Amino acid sequence: KQEVTQIPAALSVPEGENLVLNCSFTDSAIYNLQWFRQDPGKGLTSLLLIQSSQREQTSGRLNASLDKSSGRSTLYIAASQPGDSATYLCAVKVGAGSYQLTFGKGTKLSVIP
């Protein structure tokens, strides 16, 4: 059974710092991996999607990497801003015909002005 772990559970950094959020999964046979952002009381916003054949994806100040063989993904946020404060969730899809995402418990990020 696929399990997804995110470390740390919470992170507080001063504005302007670069930071890395970690995600690990137990079954390396994933189809893709998706990073989401969740603001308090809000839904999930998709940030980046990495297919199993890809090593990384970039969007603005965000860069997500994927190392399938070791069961790891990282989300790098450059020059953090207070507006980046949110909970970041990692989710994996096991196969093309899989109809579910398995989520980690998230990392709650606070960027201090």
Partner 1 sequence: DTAVSQTPKYLVTQMGNDKSIKCEQNLGHDTMYWYKQDSKKFLKIMFSYNNKELIINETVPNRFSPKSPDKAHLNLHINSLELGDSAVYFCASSVTGRGRGAFFGQGTRLTVV
Q: How far apart are CA 58 and CA 91, in angstroms?
A: 17
CB 57 to partner 1: min, Å: 11
Residues 6+ apart with CB under 8 A from 48: 34, 35, 57, 58, 59, 62, 64, 75
**Per CB under 8 A, does 43 bind partner 1?**
yes
Q: Is 106 in the site for partner 1 (CB under 8 A)?
A: yes
State both tokens at 91: 């989710």
The H helix count followed by the E strand count for the chain is: 0, 11
Of these, 18, 58, 59, 100, which contacts partner 1 (CB under 8 A)?
100
Closest CB 46 distance from partner 1, rounded Å: 5
Residue matched to tokens 């450059």 = 78
Of 77 and 89, which CB lies nearer to partner 1 in the complex structure? 89
Among residues 23, 34, 75, 80, which is the contact residue for partner 1, using CB under 8 A? 34
Show the tokens assigned to 75: 């989300």
Nearest distance from residue 79's CB to partner 1, in Å? 25
Nearest by Cα to 32 from 90, 105, 107, 77? 90
Query: In the complex, which residues of this chain contact partner 1 (CB under 8 A)?
Result: 32, 34, 36, 38, 41-46, 49, 51, 87, 89, 91, 93, 96-97, 99-103, 105-106
